[in-house]
Every structure is written in C-alpha cells, then in structure tokens.
Structure 1
Amino acid sequence: MATVAATKPAETPDEQTLREDLAAAYRLVAHFGWDELIFTHLSVRIPGPDHQFLINPLGLLFEEITASSLVKIDLQGRPVGDNTQPVNPAGFVIHSAVHAAREDAQCVMHLHTVAGTAVAAQRDGLLPLSQNALLGWDDLAYHDYEGLAVETGEKERLVADLGTHNLMILRNHGLLTVGATVADAFVRLFILQRACEMQVAAQAGGADLIHQSDAMGHKVAAQGRAAFAAGAGLSWAALRRKLDRLDPGYRA
C-alpha cells in the first residue's frame, strides 16, 4: 500500500464523521468496481464560513483511502492543515465549481464508470427504459464535453448546466451527483449508475425496447422524491455495516 502522510486529527467531531463517510464512499466505489486507477474523485464540504472541502490525494487507489489520508483544501486549491499531498487538478476544477455555486451540494461525486461513460457517449443520453432511469427523470442535467476538466473557464458553464439538478451526465466523460450528505450523493450515484447499466444491457439484447413517456418519467420521479430521504439514509447505514464487515480500515 502507498504511504501517505495523515492529516492532523479532525478539528471537530463533525469533520471526523465527514471524513469517515467520505472514506467509506471511496472504498465502496472500489468495491463496486467503479473506480479508475488513481483518477476520478469524491469530495465533501466541511460546514463553516471557510469553504474548505475534503478530497482524495492524487496517487492513492480508492481502496487505500482512509479518513485521515483525505486532503483538506480551500476553493483556490490550497492545502489546509498538515497534509500537503497534491490533488487531481480536474478534481479541483469540477468540485470547487459545484461547492462554490451550490450551498446545498455538500457532497459531490464524479466517476468514469464503463456503463456511465457509455451512456454519456450516446446522443440521446439516458433513455426512459427502466424505473431507475425514471427515478431521476426531473433531476438530470447534461454538460457538453470540453476536454480534460483542467481549465477554470469551464466552471461557469458546468454549474450553469447543473443548475438546481442533483444528477449530471458529462457527455463523453462520465457521471456526477451531488447531495446534502454523502449518503444522498452516493445513493443517487448508485441509482444513476444502475440505470446506465440497465440501458446498455437492454440495448445489447437487440430486441425492440419499450420507452416510457415523459409524463411517466415525471410521475415516477415525484413518487421517488417522496421516499428518497429515508431510503438514502437507511441504504447508507446498511452500506456502512457492509463495509465494516468487509473493509473496516477506511476509518483510520
């Protein structure tokens, strides 16, 4: 395992909770096979006026991330605290843009999964083929590809495209979700990723596909919103229990 200097201890119990939740999310992404070597990124904002957030250090696999190895940075990408490990520049651009623009987006997750990127490469994007796809029907935005996300000029366009939505497909690139908690962002990511997997599998079958109507999409999305808050919290608690059984080292 790579050796990375730990940060100083979390300054507050709330920060430690966020560190453990975010480290758990990294380990779960690796568990589900959604990671891509040392690249892509998840972040969480630390409550307070300083607009600091936690993100992975560049160089660690997601399966190696621990609560103490997460890097605290400000909106200018400057490290805060003792851990001065570099972070992925694209991670800084994408995540700092969303955190700065959306007070409710405490957690931001961005991945390049195979199924997610496959759907992102399709002209019509996510299709109304599954219940999973319809659950986020009113909450999904798109952002056109502009190359590697390392240019700060893209920030304004990305947040304008995201608007008030919590799900985004970055065309030819990958998936992005946001949430008021790590639990919310992760469960949204799971549902969106599974919808993309279902779409690719359905298309691979070669049969005529049943597309649900836009009206049905709005209906299912409204039904889903009513149950999401409780469902996300219960799902995240179950996932944390699973991780504690299989891979408890994330808490370190």
Structure 2
Amino acid sequence: MSSKVKAQVSEQEWQTRVDLAACYRAVAMYGWDDLIFTHISARVPGPEHHFLINPYGMMFDEVTASSLVKVDLHGNKVMESEYDINPAGFTIHSAVHEARDNAKCVMHLHTTEGVALSVLEEGLQAYSQQSLFPLASLSYHAYEGVALNPDEKARLVRDLGDTQFMILRNHGLLTCADNIPDAFLFMFIFQRACEIQLKAQATGQKLIPIHSAILQGIRAQASEVTKQAGGSLAWPGIKRRVARRFPGFDE
C-alpha cells in the first residue's frame, strides 16, 4: 500500500503525509486522542485546494502516510482510497482551510483538560508563561451542537479571525498554522496552559495572574511571538520519539 501511494504523489505531498501521520501518532503518544474522533488536516502542496485527513475508524496510533485520505474542500475524495472520512469533522477543518490561506495545518482535539477549560466562563487566564502564547492570538467559538451544519462555518471563520488558537466552547481546542510542526507545538503549549490553569485552580488558593502590561505587550507582538515558538526546532525530536514508540507511520 505504501509504495503504491508514494508512487502516485509528489515528493512534497509524501513528506506532508509522513509529517501528518507522525502528528497523529504524537497526539496518541501524549494521550490527547479521543478514540477515532477529532482530526488533524493538512493542505497538500500545490495549486489545488486538496487536503489530507485521517481515515474514519482508524485509531490515531494506526495512521500511516499512505492511509491518509486526500479530499477537496467539500470533503470529496480526489484520490482512490478504501477509507472514508468523518463529514462532521471536516466541516470545521474545511471552513478554516478555505478562509485562511496561511492555515496549512488545522488541529482539533477533545482533550480532557481542553474541554474542561472550554466550559469555564472566564476561559484561559494568564496564569503561566505557557498561557501567554495562546493568549497572544486567541479566539472563542460558541457551541452549536455537532458540527454538521454548513451554516456554522461562516460563524466559526468569523470568530477565528486571524488568530491561531481557538477554544471551542463545551467542545475542545483548535490550532492552525502555516505548517504541521508549528500547529503541533501550538497545541502542545495550549494543552499545557490548560493543564497548569486547572491544576492551579484545583488548589483553591489565591492565584497570581501575570501582570496585564506583560500580557498586552505579548498581544501587541502576537505574530512575532507565535513565529518564534520553534515548531521546526522541536519537530525532528518529536518524530524520533514517535518512531521509537509507534514505528511505521512513514509507510
């Protein structure tokens, strides 16, 4: 299967497939997966608006480069595959990809901590250094039920604006970036910020927020702050760790 798909696609697409499969397995490695639900999508290099997404029914630690399904913006398969995709899952992803040319990779997860924080009225707070990255480019989207309604796409895009981090109320977390390594690192920082906030709040003690002047300074430099997050620096090591834990993603 691997050699068959690899022979049909460009070298650039194959590399995107390998990185996206590694990303799925990294999510499983960190325990952020939700069985077969939630998705990570990536745009295929080239002029066509084609995207790669996970085959519906496959666990994240089973995803391989060759099993990823290539679809258009409407979720229609544009390359033969024995697998199908989750239409509800692609509703969110297609909306972001269509609206944002710089959203080459979109990650959406249902981590316990991410969903728990999405329920808090106050949302993410400036309680840690980790929180400053998402707070520099953060948006919220109200819960509208399972994402099957195409009309929701316009509202989600409006709420996302030009941000790279989004809290989907009562639902989970979303990050988007120009490449897979950055989208993953953004989610790592986002998830860690949620974990830290919930643990701190669980103590019941008075919390010390980061001074508002520091937060405003970070927000004023939002694009530079997120560009310097260093996804490309961390990514090779993440892939090595994934290869040790879940080998075979590049098949």
Same fold per superposition (TM over 0.5): yes
Question: Relative to structure 1, is the Cα distance of residues 242 and 123 closer, same or farther in structure 2, using a 3 angstrom cutoff?
Answer: same
CA drift at 1:241: 1.6
Q: Any unmatched runs of 5+ in structure 2?
A: none
**8 Å contact 2:25–2:60 — kept in the other structure?**
yes
TM-score, normalisation: structure 1: 0.93
Out of 70, 73, 76, the position equivalent to 1:75 is 73
Equivalent residue for 1:46? Answer: 44
Summarize the alignment of residues 196-235 of structure 1 with structure 2, pairs less than 5 Å apart.
196-220=194-218, 222=221, 225-226=224-225, 228-229=227-228, 231-235=230-234
8 Å Cα contact 2:51-2:71 kept in structure 1: yes
Supply the AA of the counterpart residue of 1:92. Answer: F
Paired residue for 1:95? 93
Q: CA deviation at 1:33?
A: 0.4
Deviations 1:77-133 (CA, angstroms, capped at 9, x unpaired):
111111142211222100110100000000000000000011100001101111111
Structure 1 equivalent of residue 245 of structure 2? 246
Distance in 1, Cα, partners of 2:110 & 2:3: 27
Partner of 1:151: 149
In the other structure, the counterpart of 1:8 is 5
Specify the SS of the correspondent of 1:250. coil
Give, in whole Å, the separation in 1 of the partners of 2:225 and 2:138.
17
Does residue 82 of structure 2 align to residue 60 of structure 1? no
Of all paired residues, the percent bearing the same amino acid is 49
**How many Å apart are 1:249 and its aligned residue?**
0.9
The reply to whether residue 190 of structure 1 matches residue 188 of structure 2 is yes
Deviation of 1:7 after TM superposition, in Å, equals 7.1
Secondary structure (helix, strand or coil) at the match of 1:248 reads coil
**Cα distance, 1:230–1:37 mapped onto 2, change above 3 Å:** closer
Cα distance in 1 between the residues matched to 2:89 and 2:226: 31
In 1: Cα distance, 2:224 partner to 2:113 partner: 24
Q: Compared with structure 1, are the counterparts of its residues 107 and 5 closer, same or farther at alpha carbon in structure 2 (3 Å cutoff)?
A: same
For 2:166, what is the secondary structure of its paired residue? strand
Task: Write out per-residue CA displacement over residues 128-152 of structure 1, whole angstroms, 9 at most, x where no aligned residue.
Answer: 1111111222200100000001111
Segments of 5+ residues of structure 1 without an aligned counterpart are none
Q: CA deviation at 1:228?
A: 4.2
Counterpart secondary structure, 1:175: strand
Q: CA RMSD of the aligned region, Å?
A: 1.9
Matched, 1:139 2:131: no
Alpha-carbon distance in 2 for matches of 1:80, 1:223: 36
Given that 1:8 and 1:82 are in contact with CA atoms closer than 8 Å, whether structure 2 keeps it comes out as no
Q: Tell me how far apart the structure 2 counterparts of residues 186 and 58 of structure 1 sit (CA, whole Å).
A: 21
Amino acid of the structure 2 residue aligned with 1:8: V
Specify the SS of the correspondent of 2:52.
strand
Aligned to 2:120: 122
Compared CA separation, residues 81 and 168, structure 1 to 2 (3 A): same
2:167 maps to which residue? 169
Distance 1:158 1:219 in 2: 27
Q: Is the CA contact (8 Å cut-off) linking 1:94 and 1:155 kept in structure 2?
A: yes
In structure 2, what residue type is equivalent to 1:100? E
**Pairwise CA distance, 1:226:** 4.7
* Partners of 1:129 and 1:199 within 8 A in 2: yes
Equivalent residue runs for 1:104-123 within 5 Å: 104-123=102-121
Contact kept, 8 Å, 1:7 with 1:83, in 2: the verdict is no
Q: Distance between the aligned counterparts of 2:98 and 2:4, measured in 1? A: 23
- Displacement of 1:219 after TM fit? 2.8
Output the CA distance in 1 between the equivalents of 2:86 and 2:215: 36
